[in-house]
Amino acid sequence: MQYKGIIFDLDGVICSTDQYHFEAWKALADELGIPFDTRDNDHLRGVSRMESLNIVLEKSKTQYSQSEKEYMAEEKNRIYRRLLCQMGPQDLSEEVRTTLDTLRAKGLKLAIGSSSKNAPFILERIGLGTYFDAISDGNGITHSKPDPEVFLKAANMLGLRPELCLVVEDAHAGVEAARAGGFNCAGLGAAAEDARTTWKLKTFADLRDICEAE
Ligand code: B16
Ligand code: MG
């Protein structure tokens, strides 16, 4: 079947904000005396800020109240936003930019489907603030990935049924969300190893071949 739209995850697919998430969670975990490494960080990919915090706190011996947790999540976000301020158009790779342009030139509609509440800010920083036909992000959903809500909303914004859209993801939670919503899914990085993906990408530019082969 010919795809009519592509829904891209943001963090880890369009740009590498995953490194900044790691640095921010690591700073918070160090402050709290909780062990945290890159393997722990992989469990946070695609899941919401508060769910991520709950995962980080699983290794803590202390029980925290809801208001303490809210303060910690805000603190992590303050650190993360400070790191994001270093980003600029140079953080959008040539490969991603030219591939997006090629897909658009084929007539595909392009959307973002991200759990992040910072998605509009990040897109602005990398010069894609007005590029996409639709942006569905953490600000407009009540259930984070692996719930399909963020992708269903993106497809709806594009005016397309899920089976006409391809989701591009780097996280297992995102692959699960895509499949639960009835989407085909192309996996990058860790998601390329996920048996539930329809397409396994070695590079972002492989998307051109997938859409060619359709
Ligand atoms: P924020 P994605 C996700 O973005 C990140 O992968 C995940 O690590 C983060 O916790 C989540 O956004 C929420 O981000 O704190 O900025 O609202 O991969 O769905 O684009
Ligand atoms: Mg991601």
User: How confident is the model over 36-48, as a mean pLDDT?
Assistant: 93
Q: How high is the pLDDT of residue 153?
A: 98
Check pLDDT > 70 for residue 119. Answer: yes
Q: Which of 11, 47, 136 to mutate to test the pocket of ligand 1 (most atoms within 8 A of CB)?
A: 11
Q: What is the mean pLDDT of the chain?
A: 95
Q: How much is the pLDDT for 2?
A: 84
50 class by beta-carbon count within 10 Å (0-12 exposed, 13-18 middle, 19+ buried): middle
Residue 11 designated active-site: yes
Q: Find the mean pLDDT for residues 38-56.
A: 94
Stated pTM of the model: 0.95
**For residue 1, pLDDT beyond 70:** no
The stretch 158-185 carries a mean pLDDT of: 97
Task: Read off φ and ψ for residue 135, nearest 5 degrees.
Answer: -125, 115
Q: In whole angstroms, give the CA distance from residue 165 to residue 141.
A: 19
Let me know: does 149 contact 115? Beta carbons within 8 Å: no
Asked whether the predicted pLDDT for residue 109 surpasses 70, the reply is yes
pLDDT surpassing 90 at residue 30: yes
Residue 118 CA, closest ligand 1 atom number: 16
Residue 187 to residue 164: CA distance in whole angstroms: 17
